[in-house]
Amino acid sequence: MNERILSDAHQLKKLVREAEAIADESIIAMARLKQAMLAARQNPEVEVHTGQRALMRLTEAESQAMAMSTNLLRVHDELSKVARVHAGGDAGHETIIPAEAVATSTATNALRPESVIA
pLDDT in tens, 39-82: 999 999 999 999 999 999 999 999 999 999 999 999 999 999 88
- What is the per-residue pLDDT for 108? 46
- What is the per-residue pLDDT for 118? 32
60 or 113, which is more confident = 60
**First and final CA of the chain: distance in angstroms?**
53
- What is the per-residue pLDDT for 113? 42
Mean pLDDT confidence for 1-22: 91
How far is Cα 50 from Cα 80, in angstroms, rounded to an integer?
Answer: 47
**What backbone torsions phi and psi does residue 58 show, to the nearest 5 degrees?**
-65, -40
- What is the per-residue pLDDT for 117? 39
Each domain of the chain, given as residue ranges in start order, spans 3-115
How far is Cα 21 from Cα 34, in angstroms, rounded to an integer?
Answer: 20
**What value does the mean pLDDT of the chain take?**
84
| HEC readout, the chain | CCHHHHHHHHHHHHHHHHHHHHHHHHHHHHHHHHHHHHHHHCCCCCCCCCCHHHHHHHHHHHHHHHHHHHHHHHHHHHHHHHHHHHCCCCCCCCCCCCHHHCCCCHHHHCCCHHHCCC
- What is the per-residue pLDDT for 64? 97
- What is the per-residue pLDDT for 89? 56
- What is the per-residue pLDDT for 74? 95
pLDDT of 83 above 60: yes
Query: Can you give the pTM of this predicted structure?
Result: 0.72
